[in-house]
Structure 1
Amino acid sequence: MFDHLVFGVSDYEESKAFFLKALKPIGVTIASEGPLGVELCSPDSQSSLCIRRIEARTSHLHLAFTAQNRQQVDAFYRAALEAGAQDNGAPGLRPQYHANYYAAFVIGPDGHNVEMVCHHPEA
């Protein structure tokens, strides 16, 4: 739905390391990096996540990423916790959204609520 999402972070290196590790299960890597920050994306996606260096205090965001299967959701959750995130909802079905909404939530750097969601039934 979006082409790119840009947001500032208070600790650039910490946030870059966190998102690279947490989003590795869906193939996210560095597309480009420069003085303003870093652009992250998956090889099969035209959408990107851009992290910028800023001095001001950041606002909390809810960032939801699409997984192709439930195993990627599980892998994201483990990787995010290993990268220093706080649990905000272990992997599982969220039937209040729809019958196959399988997601995990963590609180990442700067207090952002980061979600990985799969909309497909169990394979």
Structure 2
Amino acid sequence: MFDHVKFGVSDYAASKAFFLKALEPLGVAVVAEGEPTYGIELCVPGETVSLCLYQAEHQPAPLHLAFKATSRQQVRDFHRAALKAGGTDHGAPGLRPHYHANYYAAFVIGPDGHNVEAVCHEPNET
């Protein structure tokens, strides 16, 4: 559905560092970057959907950003990396059966109060 999502952040350097470290386990890397007011584009190499951040003048309203993980291990790695990057735990890795039987996710709050999630919809690895 999306080609890219771009949103403002209050501290570009802090948000850039957080998202790079938190999303590294999901294979996300920098594909383009300009001045902070233009921002940075993050993407899984070889894919076309991207996340873009830029320095905003005002504190942005919190968002819920859910990133696709290909395995439950990636969800656990994301959660660990996001906490090390300065995120605040908002839901440890685990099943969320109220969404569906295989909804395995973890949540952290990022530098601007955004709820950042990694989710895997695949059955448990054997």
Once the 2 structures are TM-superposed, how far is the Cα of residue 44 of structure 1 from its aligned partner? 3.2
d(CA) in 2 for partners of 1:76 and 1:57? Answer: 25
The CA RMSD over aligned residues, in Å, is 0.6
1:73 to 72, 75, 80: 75
Question: Which residue of structure 2 aligns with residue 62 of structure 1?
Answer: 64
Question: Which residue of structure 2 aligns with residue 15 of structure 1?
Answer: 15
Q: Please list, as runs of the form range in 1=range in 2, the aligned pairs for 1:22-101 lying within 5 A after superposition.
A: 22-35=22-35, 36-101=38-103
Q: Which amino acid aligns with 2:103?
A: Y
Gap runs ≥5 in structure 1: none
Gap runs ≥5 in structure 2: none
Runs of 4+ in 1 over 4 A off after TM superposition: none
1:109 to 103, 108, 111: 111
d(CA) in 2 for partners of 1:94 and 1:54? Answer: 34
Task: Using structure 1 for the length normalisation, give the TM-score.
Answer: 0.98
Once the 2 structures are TM-superposed, how far is the Cα of residue 38 of structure 1 from its aligned partner? 0.3
d(CA) in 1 for partners of 2:28 and 2:49? Answer: 11
Task: Using structure 2 for the length normalisation, give the TM-score.
Answer: 0.96
Aligned length: 123
